[in-house]
Amino acid sequence: MAFKQYAVVDKTLCVACGACEIACPLGAIKVHKGCFANVIKDKCVGCGKCENVCPANSIKRENREGI
Amino acid sequence: MRVDKKHWYDYLWIWSIIYFSLGFFNILFAWLGMIDFLLPIILAMFGGNKFFCNHICGRGQLYFKLGEDFKCSRNKSTPKWMASKWFRYGFLIFFIAMFGNMVFQTYIVASGAKNLSEAIKLFWTFRVPWGWAYSGSVFPDWVVQFSFGFYSLMLTSLLIGLIVMILFKPRTWCAFCPIGTMTQAICKLKNRKSNK
């Protein structure tokens, strides 16, 4: 089942602190090689927990296409 | 359902509390803070990752614990300028300059041109007598001077982090943490090919 929204990371703003990784209850977001966070789109349910904890305001939620 | 299991390093916020508490009893324990300075850089240089920031930074965990679990944070958005590149790199340069000044003060004491100052400096401005945390040791004075200087730096950054934690988000400090900025820059350089 695909959820309506998912998290999107602005790589230019991300500081790769990993706060989102800790906050995500599904392990759907991981820091990629210490550079920026990556969202596993299929796992993300768009709960917004990562968005709430991100200190750099680099995560926003977007609607999935076709849902 | 939470996917990740708890690891030993998820409890390193306790280490952070212990570290700052030890500084109230014996200032020489301040040297242990060098682990927090060197380990992230070593991991970034040789591992090409921010494993330290992401998993073992006791300070970040402490802010998260206080801000998120104990609801000490207002949870407001971090101001844009605070997470901007110019502020992050500007703060990094300032922090390195202050670290350099601290090393220079240590050198002055080592050369005998200045006596040991049994005080810490908060926010690089306010001198706080801290003599109770040192009552003589087998170490030369410069070792102790470095401890006072380094503890000042660590305590000042902890306080800045706590202030921004209360005002904004639990881990707002991470947005401009000098070590985090440095390790991310190292990782970006190291992984520039694979990130293209």
Burial B140-173 (b: 16+ CB within 10 A, else e): ebbbbbbbbbbbbbbbbbbebbbebbbebbbbbb
Q: What is the mean pLDDT of chain B?
A: 93
> Cα separations (Å) of B64 from A20, B28, B53?
11, 28, 12
Q: What CATH number does the domain containing A25 carry?
A: 3.30.70.20
B85-111 and B141-167 are packed helices; what angle lies between their axes, rounded to 10 degrees?
160
The residue ranges of every structural domain in chain B are 8-190
Q: How many independent structural domains does chain A possess?
A: 1
ipTM higher than 0.85? Answer: yes
Which DSSP state fits B76? P
* Residues in chain B within 8 Å Cβ distance of A29: none
Contact A2, B154 (CB under 8 A): no
Beta bridge partners of A7: A61
pLDDT digits (tens, 9 = 90+) for A23-62: 999 999 999 999 999 999 999 999 999 999 999 999 999 9
Read off the pLDDT of residues B124-176 as tens digits, 9 standing for 90 and up: 999 999 999 998 889 999 999 999 999 999 999 999 999 999 999 999 999 99
CB contact under 8 A, A35 and B191: yes
Tell which of B57, B160, B169, B182 to mutate to test the A interface (max A CBs under 10 Å): B169
**Distance of alpha carbon B101 from alpha carbon A30, whole angstroms:** 37
Q: What is the pLDDT of residue B5?
A: 78
On the CB side of B163, CA atoms within 13 Å amount to 7
> In B85-132, which ranges are continuous DSSP H helix?
85-111
More confident residue, A63 or B196: A63
* Tens-place pLDDT, residues B152-163: 999 999 999 999
Mean per-residue pLDDT, B87-96: 97
pLDDT of residue A14: 96
pLDDT band at residue B19, thresholds of 50, 70 and 90? very high
Closest CA to B119 of B91, B161, B159, B155: B155
User: Chain A residue with minimal CA distance to B85?
Assistant: A13
The average pLDDT across B6-23 equals: 94
Q: CB–CB of B78 and A53 under 8 A? A: no
Three-state DSSP class for B180? helix
CA of A21: how far to CAs of A44, A56, B108, B152, B186, in Å?
12, 14, 44, 31, 21
Answer whether residue B191 shows pLDDT above 90: no
Orientation angle between helical segments B85-111 and B178-190, nearest 10 degrees:
110
- What pLDDT is recorded for position B193? 67
Range of the structural domain that residue A22 is part of: 5-63
